[in-house]
């Protein structure tokens, strides 16, 4: 029985969805929370930890669920805090399994007879995605200390769905909105069914207590604002702020071409959203063995910094910094 397919009394439910039995003998299950409000309204789906090293969002989901008042809630919130438990358990982005297609963010709607990643996607699809009127899939900077503050929507969505998704992203209220290519994601699957989506990329892991607390606060406020925007709680959405909308073609990453220690010059949450002139030094790479600076990372365009990495060991191609080009992005 799908927990969302039946009408439930107002209140809180927690069920565990069976996926399969693992070689270790452990049962692979996904936890699903359903908070059913006393009033009629839409079903908001929430996914967190689709990438196993992006665990900040699930603490925001916990706070959101705890603070909901069933008596005044219109509709339902259905949340899977850990979408990929196997990836979380090894604090890695993808599922540790032998077969291909191990990134849960690329395999939706999944397959009930596929590999572990595809099976988890299939369970999420049939038990959550097929029952929601809006979806939020929360991501953040993962392993290796990256700061994020944006909400993504799928550039390939139909005009109506794009508008609906933009409304959710605007309500979430991050500085940036990224019209991204979300092929294979839960968002694209939902969009094809006419369901709008927002994929926040907010905060990161091991950022230190102050930054982490601030980002969790911001994520909870953003989620509540989305709920307000679609009429689920009797509150006003956050006052719309100036947001920069940019497409994939306006996205300029600046990544190292050699491995080493990245000395980052942009490590404060307030650095995100900063206007950076072309040529500005963002950081440098120190070779771990010769201890010499081997590369300087400089802004390739004039634009706004939308992610940045803390200082630490990186390899060639590690995502370090990204700019939304000023000339081709749009202020909303």
Residues that bind Zn ion (CB under 5 A): 51, 54, 139
Closest residue to Zn ion: CB criterion: 139
Question: Shortest approach of Zn ion to residue 139 CB, angstroms?
Answer: 3
Nearer to Zn ion (CB atom), residue 200 or residue 259:
200
Q: Tell the smallest beta-carbon distance from residue 138 to Zn ion (Å).
A: 9
Name which of 152 and 271 has its Cβ closer to Zn ion.
Answer: 152
Q: Which is nearer to Zn ion, 54 or 271 (CB)?
A: 54
CA 138 vs CA 5, 50, 184: distances in Å: 24, 8, 16
**Cβ 173 vs Cβ 222: under 8 Å:** yes
Cβ-based nearer residue to Zn ion, 127 or 150: 150
- Beta carbon of residue 49, minimum distance to Zn ion (angstroms, whole number): 9
CB 234, min distance to Zn ion, A: 32
Min. distance of Cβ 104 from Zn ion in angstroms?
9
Q: Measured from the CB atom, is 139 or 146 closer to Zn ion?
A: 139
């Amino acid at each position: 029985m799908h927990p969302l397919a039946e009408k439930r009394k107002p209140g809180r439910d927690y069920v565990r969805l069976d996926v399969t039995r693992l070689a270790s003998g452990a049962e692979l299950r996904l936890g699903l929370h359903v908070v059913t409000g006393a009033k009629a309204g839409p079903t908001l789906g929430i996914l967190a930890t689709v990438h196993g090293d992006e665990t900040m969002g699930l603490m925001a989901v916990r706070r959101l669920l705890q603070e909901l008042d069933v008596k005044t809630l219109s509709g339902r919130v259905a949340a899977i805090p850990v979408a990929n438990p196997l990836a979380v358990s090894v604090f890695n982005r993808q599922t540790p399994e032998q077969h291909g297609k191990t990134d849960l963010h690329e395999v939706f709607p999944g397959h009930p007879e596929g590999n572990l990643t595809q099976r988890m996607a299939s369970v999420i699809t049939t038990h959550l995605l097929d029952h929601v009127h809006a979806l939020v899939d929360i991501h953040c900077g993962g392993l290796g200390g990256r700061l994020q503050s944006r909400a993504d929507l799928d550039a390939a969505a139909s005009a109506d769905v794009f508008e609906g998704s933009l409304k959710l992203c605007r309500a979430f209220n991050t500085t940036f909105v990224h019209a991204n290519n979300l092929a294979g994601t839960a968002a694209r699957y939902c969009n094809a069914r006419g369901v709008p989506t927002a994929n926040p990329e907010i905060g990161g892991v091991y950022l230190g207590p102050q930054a982490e607390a601030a980002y969790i606060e911001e994520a909870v406020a953003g989620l509540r604002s989305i709920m307000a925007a679609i009429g689920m709680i009797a509150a006003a959405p956050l006052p719309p702020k100036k947001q920069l909308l940019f497409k994939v073609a306006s996205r300029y990453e600046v990544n190292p071409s050699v491995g080493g220690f990245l000395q980052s010059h942009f490590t404060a949450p307030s650095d995100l959203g900063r206007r950076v002139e072309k040529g500005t030094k963002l950081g440098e790479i120190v070779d771990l063995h010769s201890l010499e600076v081997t590369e300087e990372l400089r802004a390739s365009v004039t634009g706004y910094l939308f992610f940045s990495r803390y200082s630490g060991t990186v390899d060639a191609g590690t995502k370090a910094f990204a700019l939304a080009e000023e000339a081709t992005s749009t202020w909303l």
